[in-house]
Amino acid sequence: MSALLYRERSGWWASAFLGATALHGGALAAYFDVIPWQGWLAPPTPALTAEITVASLIVPEDQLAQLEGDGTSASDPVPPEAEPEPEAQPEPPPEPQVIPDPAPEPEPPPQVTPEPEPEALPEPEPTPEPEVTEPEPEPEPPVEPEPAPEPTAPPPEETANPLLPEEDPAGAEGGAEPGPGPGAPLPEPEQPEIELPPLELATVAPDILPESDPIPEPEPPAPEAVDPAPAEVPPAVSVPEPAAPVRPRLGEPIVAPPPPSPDAEALRRLVSRIRKQFGDSCLIALPQLGAGQAPSVVMLSDRDRSMVGYADAVLPDPQDPEADPISSRAVLVDNRQCPAVNFLRARGEYPAFGLSLGLVSTQVLSGGRLIGSIEGAPSGTQTALLLVDDNGVVQDLRRFLQFSGGKITFDVPVTRDGDARDTSQMLIALATPKRLDTVTNLAGRYAEDFFPALQKELGEGAAIAVLPFDLR
């Protein structure tokens, strides 16, 4: 390596020092704005910001109300909604004249505080109203409390007051002063108090008793259920066979039995004619006692023509052709009820059954009650009540029977399901030595299944009654 590379150059440090000083001095002068620019550098364009001066940004509600009353809209000078408009105007820079308007700022603050005070003044207007009513009740108390202590002693004095004025004229001279007044009358009213209560009670008691008597009178429905009174519908008649004559004992006179009444003789002859002529199948004739004990007949069949021909053959009495004709009533039944009809006509006691069955009415409305009674059941027997409807279904009504004093009554609610029909319902009563299993086991079955089984179980030792009725 040559030594020329390491030789010293004169003036290098001086130039470096001067250059560094000039550079730093210029930077400081530019930072503190000491040297004027003189136009060789374009001065930075100042950012124009629109200065907005507002008189008052807070305007109270009272001031707004005044502005609205004067007709000036408060939205022009006050609300901040107008502020965004000058924000959009900073684009034209040559309008700096808007700035010098700070004068109206001090005016609104002193006006805001005193204005809400006068508005609270009209509130005390309703206060003078109670002043008129209060002084009126003052004169009332001094007069009333003075006579109050007189009736406080015993309550019966009020009832004795009508007698006291009669004694007042005698003691009016001494009773005028308030001092001796309370002392003198105290012993006097005690005597009439003893006499008055019994006199008043004696007059009040009879007034109350007759008023309570008519209360139980308006209760007529009770006797209707107990006493069916089958006046309109005669009960089925039990016509026993003529009893054998009883031989008198030794020493007893022989007395002839009373002769039977004409109606009883006519009824027996009617029963014998019915037994001799059964007529067509599904036909029965039931003798009854009508009004005035005159016999009548109720016929049941599923055919009208059969009942008309049977009435012509049986009802006329050949032994008494001049007698009045026996009244009759034809009742139409459904052919599904014929097993019940044939069961009745096959009985040995037909048509004079041993029971008496009566109904209050044979015309029952749907939703009404079937009321009646059963009589003639021997003591110790089991009684059953059957309903054979016009659909042929047998229903057990034993739960509706009521036993009292040797009499059996029933009150059955009935309702018809379906359209009205011309056929009637059949009500059959039975009295047997024992409870019937057929009624218990076959209730709700059709008549064609029920009555053949009942005939086998029943035997001959049973009492029967039957009546038709209409359910509309």
Which residue is listed with tokens 């009353």? 69
Q: What is the mean pLDDT of each run of 10 residues along the chain (472 residues)?
A: 53 80 81 60 55 46 56 47 49 51 52 50 51 51 51 45 45 44 47 48 40 46 44 47 49 50 79 89 86 80 94 90 87 97 94 91 94 92 96 97 91 90 95 94 96 91 93 90
The whole-number pLDDT of residue 42 equals: 56
Which residue type is seen at 83?
A: E
Q: How far apart are CA 414 and CA 470, in angstroms?
A: 11
Which residue is listed with tokens 């009650």? 369
Provide DSSP, 96-133. GGGS---TTTTSHHHHHTTTHHHHTTTTTTTTTSHHHH
Q: How far apart are CA 420 and CA 366, in angstroms?
A: 10
Q: In sequence order, what are the residues at sequence separation of 6 or more whose Cβ sits closer than 8 angstroms to the Cβ of residue 450?
A: 339, 394, 438, 442, 443
| b (16+ CB within 10 A) / e for 280-292 | eebbbbbbbbeee
In three-state secondary structure terms, 384 is strand
| Vertex 25: Cα angle to 21 and 31 (nearest 5) | 155
The whole-number pLDDT of residue 237 equals: 45
List Cα–Cα distances, 47 to 31, 43, 50, 52, 79, in angstroms: 19, 12, 10, 16, 28
Nearest CA to 290 out of 257, 321, 329 is that of 329
Beta strand 295-301 with 407-413 is: unpaired
In three-state secondary structure terms, 463 is strand
Q: Which CATH class is domain 262-471?
A: mainly beta
Nearest CA to 465 out of 372, 393, 390, 326 is that of 372
Q: How far apart are CA 317 and CA 40, in angstroms?
A: 165
**Residues carrying CATH 2.60.40.1930, the chain:** 262-471
Both tokens of 89, joined, read 């105007």
The whole-number pLDDT of residue 46 equals: 58
